[in-house]
Structure 1
Amino acid sequence: MFRTLGGGVLVTSHSNATHPHASNELCEEGSRLYAAALRSGRIARTDAEPVPCLMDSALLHPDPDDPNWLRPVPPAIALAQRLNPIEREITERRQLATDIAGVFEPFMSIGGQSSSGGGSITVLEGGERINNALNLATAQCHTEMLTVQPSDRMPERSALRGLERDKPLIERGVRIRTLYQHTARYSQEKLAYAAHMADGKVEYRSIDELVERLIICDETVAFIPIRDDQQVALELRHPGLVRYLVKVFEFMWNRAVPLSAGAPYETAPDGITDIQHSIAKLLVEGHVDEAIARRLGMNVRTCRAHIAKLAQVLGSGSRAQLGYLIAQSGILDQKIPGEGGFR
């Protein structure tokens, strides 16, 4: 599946049948035929007729030597065609940000901030104001940016905002370190974003459990949400508070695993993976499935599948017995690599 800006719904008629799906997606049959065309170098036009999205999205084009055949557009070219509009929009928005900053630059030296704590703690209400404050902080960042991103789906709009903020930082030589949860390893959006931003100064690690988002720029300003809907945040510029949050980040970072490593989901000698160790700990603490799934950044169905595996390994016949067997097994006394987060 590929994602691009814009979108809408693609509804193409063929033989009185519709072939509807989002224009920024590739359906299962389209994926199969495109892969077959890439492997063989071409595909019969009649084979592609039931899947008109391949032609509509310019992944196939007519064979100049034989009109009965279609040739695939190389994936690198197809990807570039979809990324170019995004890159152009990023450049335009970056110029707009520069122009707006120029308007307010004459006022930056004027004091008398009215925020509590002499400007050291500012309440930001609304997504637009939060994003504007983040854009300003990252534009002024020159050394390092630290981010904590609990696992959830990364929508296209969020990915675009991330590219807008992070790319200029990398170009300025700013180091970026980002913490995800282990479940990010199964998020194609996050993996694609990490691959796109891959650079010597950009590092991604994952850990079993994270509590909330956190962004720190140059160890001088930090942003934390204070409401579950992410519509209210605090901008912190108090040196003591920011230093404390940096130490918390470093504590988690040192216990996290590089995103490219497979260790967090490998099965230990006792037959239980590290993520299942984390689930076992939360089970014994009395958390319900929904709370465990939320804390570990996974859906409830995946969480329950891990719990079923735990029950199978430990020979449990009931939920109550499972808690007892976990406590008796001693698995909670073992060191869990990558364990960390706010407890």
Structure 2
Amino acid sequence: MKDTKQTHPHPVTELCADGERLYASALSAGRISRSEAEGAPCLLEFALLHPDPDDANWLQPVPPSVVLAQRLQPIEREIQERRRLSVDLTAAFEPFMAISTQMPPTTHAITVLEGVSRINAALDKAITESHTEVLTVQPGGGRSEHLLSEALQRSKPLIERGISMRTLYQHTVRYSQNTFAYVDKMAGARVEIRTLEELIERLIICDHDVAFIPAQAGDDMALELRHPGLVQYLINVFDQLWRRATPLQDDVQYEATVEGITGVQRSIAKLLIEGHVDEAIARRLGMNVRTCRAHIAKIAAALGSGSRAQLGYLIAQSGMLERES
């Protein structure tokens, strides 16, 4: 007997090859032997064959029109029930439809975007629909060539339409060759880049219509904001940061203290006495943890600190943060 493990079970809509062949043969001949039908147990399971009343060794085929009617009956009954439910739902909500037409138009003020592909699709749509200006805040250090390539691809339609872009990075991108290569490719476009030592979380604003901010740590969830008040507030925050930032083409002036502590190190010192750990400080200043710890070691050496606990006390006593420029 033929092995049927690979073809059973299966739905009636996908008869196995043996089932199709034997059912067709039974319809042509008017019957089929039980032994032959054993190769396709689905024929009995789906009631395509039934026992011959005159001879138990034979099976007779059920006409396909009968089988089809039997299979369609519950489906048609369900369709009718669904239609009745649709009518009932429409009748239930119809009285409220007239009321809703009198309400002022609303937009989804806050939309949660989950998944990188959905976030990118929403960003691409908003950027494509921009008419005047796109503002972006990109915290962290130098971005990878892959990310900058994506940013360049997304910026192309803006450049072609003459839309201006203002971007804020952290000072650490000044040591990134990829960033300057990106700037060179954007030459001639209405693009301005400035840097700050410390930035808020990532932010993208398109015109005065929509803003995107992270919804949680990581890159797989964001909020799309369309409430005019919220968007304007974020534009004001961006403008304040922009006024404090230094154009990328200008040198950042770090005036060292008498102890030889630089501006970057003063920022690290301030975060240290606020209780932040090395990883959090590095993330906020857009540098890797190793570089951050090297700066902490230089601060400790300049102040003569022998321990981490003592370092916080010496920073406070030195007055270096009062002289922060």
- Provide TM-score, normalisation by structure 2: 0.63
AA partner of residue 312 (structure 1): A
Would you say 1:289 and 2:278 are equivalent positions?
yes
AA partner of residue 322 (structure 2): D
User: Cα deviations across residues 82-128 of structure 1 (Å, max 9, x unaligned)?
Assistant: xxxxxxxxxxxxxxxxxxxxxxxxxxxxxx9xxxx732211111111
- Equivalent residue for 1:143, pick from 90, 107, 132: 132
- Equivalent residue for 1:160, pick from 149, 153, 164: 149
Would you say 1:182 and 2:182 are equivalent positions?
no
Would you say 1:231 and 2:220 are equivalent positions?
yes
Aligned-partner SS, 1:199: coil
Mapped contact 2:107–2:226 kept (Cα < 8 A): no
Identity over aligned pairs, percent: 62
In 2, Cα distance between equivalents of 1:258 and 1:233? 28
Aligned-partner SS, 1:204: strand
Aligned-partner SS, 1:331: coil
Deviation (angstroms), 1:160: 2.5
Aligned-partner SS, 2:173: helix
Q: How many residues align?
A: 221
AA partner of residue 332 (structure 1): L
Would you say 1:213 and 2:237 are equivalent positions?
no
Would you say 1:126 and 2:120 are equivalent positions?
no
AA partner of residue 300 (structure 1): V
Summarize the Cα distance change of 1:179–1:310 in structure 2 as closer, same or farther, 3 Å threshold.
same
| Map 1:82-93 → 2, pairs under 5 A | none
Deviation (angstroms), 1:266: 5.9
Deviation (angstroms), 1:294: 1.5
Deviation (angstroms), 1:250: 1.1
- Equivalent residue for 1:243, pick from 225, 232, 246: 232
Please say which of residues 319-328 and 279-288 is displaced more in the overlay. 319-328
In 2, Cα distance between equivalents of 1:264 and 1:182? 11
Aligned-partner SS, 1:263: coil
In 1, Cα distance between equivalents of 2:152 and 2:267? 32
Summarize the Cα distance change of 1:297–1:264 in structure 2 as closer, same or farther, 3 Å threshold.
farther
| Map 1:182-331 → 2, pairs under 5 A | 182-199=171-188, 201-263=190-252, 267=256, 270-331=259-320
The corresponding residue for 1:332 is: 321
Instruction: Report which of the two structures shows the higher radius of gyration computed on alpha carbons.
Output: 2
- Provide TM-score, normalisation by structure 1: 0.60
In 2, Cα distance between equivalents of 1:195 and 1:264? 23
Summarize the Cα distance change of 1:269–1:247 in structure 2 as closer, same or farther, 3 Å threshold.
farther
AA partner of residue 297 (structure 1): G
The corresponding residue for 2:62 is: none
Mapped contact 2:167–2:192 kept (Cα < 8 A): yes
The corresponding residue for 1:31 is: none
Deviation (angstroms), 1:310: 1.2
Mapped contact 2:170–2:195 kept (Cα < 8 A): yes
AA partner of residue 265 (structure 2): Q
Deviation (angstroms), 1:270: 4.9
Mapped contact 1:148–1:178 kept (Cα < 8 A): yes
